[in-house]
Amino acid sequence: MKTIDELLAEGVTGRRVLVRADLNVPLDGTTITDDGRIRAVLPTVKALVGAGARVVVASHLGRPKGAPDPAFSLAPAAARLGELLGAGVAFATDTVGESARATVAGLGDGDVAVLENLRFNAGETAGDDAERGAFADELASLADLYVGDGFGAVHRKHASVYDLPARLPHAAGYLIAAEVAVLRKLTEDVERPYAVVLGGAKVSDKLAVIDSLLGRADRLLIGGGMAYTFLRAQGHEVGASLLQEDQVPAVKEYLERAEANGVELVLPVDVVAAAEFPDLRTKAPAEHGTVDAGAIPADRQGLDIGPKTCELYASKIADAATVFWNGPLGVFEHPDFAGGTRSIARALVDSTAFTVVGGGDSAAAVRTLGFDENAFGHISTGGGASLEYLEGKTLPGLAALED
């Protein structure tokens, strides 16, 4: 795929460049609680600004239902982008309407504008090719060139990700280039031992990637809510813990395949359990205790891996050459149940391996728990996109950037 450096070498001064970014940041009202995805697109935007392009940034935020919704406005993200750039950023209050056209027309060389949430237009996510294409046509009328740099959305067949690049000369931004380079290191000529840490709530969200990794990884360390379905598949009692009973047969098959393939599949040996799910807003202390992972009391739910499991998992990471981590190991948003996630992050920091934090909640946890992002080999901006790449799927947004 064509790189942004090649695009810059051809000259972009005075040209309108639409950058499909991923500004899908978490919000508390209008306050951004983690600006990592905005900072991730800065190298691309700064390079275009420095070359005199007229930069139009487009993104989605959340899941509005194809119509304007103030709760999902990109206005806070546009303001934060301006702060990080140290320059004013114009904001269009619609996607392809009067405000967008006037805002883009008003740009000078080196100026930046942000369009309102793409998903305020039903054409962005439409399953109908014609409807999606019509919206892509309108977006294309706002620009001369296209740069794809929203890695967190490349697994979606959406108008701004898949259809728009076919309508404009296009290139991959610095973020997408970096993400793809890292993912290739996790799938092609991997340095071993290769350890993968998978957490998160539901095992059903990770079945496909587990299926793929059983033929690639040397070790799979399982935590988070999904661990309890694995424990049940081994015949253990899991109390009131999160459980996907319908996935137990598939998990049993994976346990058998792991053994047959010589893949070390490691499950928690102890968990931190509580009678009630904690209040994540007040973070009030919660009554909890550590119990054996194979005998969680009926009235308790596991909310984190225990100290013995933390030590076990750290030992499995210590001598690895490559480590990929996706998904928190517990309810890290509450201090009483953040120990497991913190211990995994610490193990990655202390490791000499090439370490990759696979986006989403894992990336948020690293920042929330106060770790230096530079201490990791790479922190991805796209959890779902990373997983689908590891599954071996063709990602529409990457395919669209290929020449």
Q: Do residues 229 and 368 share a domain?
A: yes
Split at pLDDT 50, 70, 90, the class of 364 is: confident
Q: Do residues 286 and 375 share a domain?
A: yes
pLDDT digits (tens, 9 = 90+) for 117-173: 999 999 999 999 999 999 999 999 999 999 999 999 999 999 999 999 999 999 999
Binding-site annotation, residues: 22-24, 37, 60-63, 119, 156, 206, 302, 333, 359-362
The verdict on residue 144 lying in a domain is yes
Q: Is the pLDDT of residue 360 over 80?
A: no
pLDDT digits (tens, 9 = 90+) for 240-252: 999 999 999 999 9
The answer to whether 118 and 59 are in contact (CB under 8 A) is yes
Q: Do residues 150 and 203 share a domain?
A: no
- Which residues form the catalytic set? 37, 202, 360, 384
The verdict on residue 396 lying in a domain is no
* Pairing mode, strands 322-326 and 354-357: parallel
Q: What is the CATH number of the domain that holds 37?
A: 3.40.50.1260
The verdict on residue 331 lying in a domain is yes
Can you tell me the distance from the alpha carbon of 241 to that of 352, in angstroms, rounded to the nearest whole number? 34
Q: Which of 198-202, 305-309, 381-385 has the lowest mean pLDDT?
A: 381-385
The verdict on residue 16 lying in a domain is yes
Averaged pLDDT for residues 182-189 = 91
The verdict on residue 299 lying in a domain is yes
Binding-site annotation, residues for ATP: 206, 302, 333, 359-362
Q: Do residues 251 and 380 share a domain?
A: yes
Q: Do residues 247 and 361 share a domain?
A: yes
Q: What pLDDT, on a 0 to 100 scale, did the predictor assign at position 259?
A: 95
The verdict on residue 81 lying in a domain is yes
Nearest in space to 354 (alpha carbons), one of 325, 382, 330: 325
Give Cα separations from 164 to 136, 141, 241 (angstroms): 5, 10, 44
The verdict on residue 401 lying in a domain is no
Q: Do residues 69 and 192 share a domain?
A: no
Beta bridge partners of 379: 357
Residues of the chain with pLDDT > 90, as a percent, come to: 89
Q: What pLDDT, on a 0 to 100 scale, did the predictor assign at position 334?
A: 95
Boundary (domain end) residue, out of 121, 142, 175? 175
CA 126 to chain centre: 22
Q: Do residues 143 and 218 share a domain?
A: no
Report the number of distinct structural domains present in the chain. Answer: 2
Q: Do residues 154 and 290 share a domain?
A: no
Binding-site annotation, residues for substrate: 22-24, 37, 60-63, 119, 156
Boundary (domain end) residue, out of 175, 198, 214? 175
Mean pLDDT of the chain: 95
Can you tell me the distance from the alpha carbon of 249 to that of 255, in angstroms, rounded to the nearest whole number? 10
Q: What pLDDT, on a 0 to 100 scale, did the predictor assign at position 91?
A: 98
Q: Do residues 256 and 360 share a domain?
A: yes
Averaged pLDDT for residues 368-382 = 91
The full DSSP string for 189-245 is: S--SSEEEEE-SS-GGGTHHHHHHHTTT-SEEEE-STTHHHHHHHTT-B-TTS---G
Binding-site annotation, residues for (2R)-3-phosphoglycerate: 37, 119, 156
pTM: 0.89
Averaged pLDDT for residues 191-202 = 94
Q: Do residues 26 and 133 share a domain?
A: yes
pLDDT digits (tens, 9 = 90+) for 44-82: 999 999 999 999 999 999 999 999 999 999 999 999 999
Split at pLDDT 50, 70, 90, the class of 382 is: confident
Q: Do residues 230 and 213 share a domain?
A: yes
Taking the CA atoms of residue 385, residue 391, residue 392 and residue 396 in that order, the dihedral angle to the nearest 10 degrees is -30
| Residue ranges making up the domain that contains 76 | 4-175
Q: Do residues 167 and 217 share a domain?
A: no
Can you tell me the distance from the alpha carbon of 175 to that of 193, in angstroms, rounded to the nearest whole number? 27
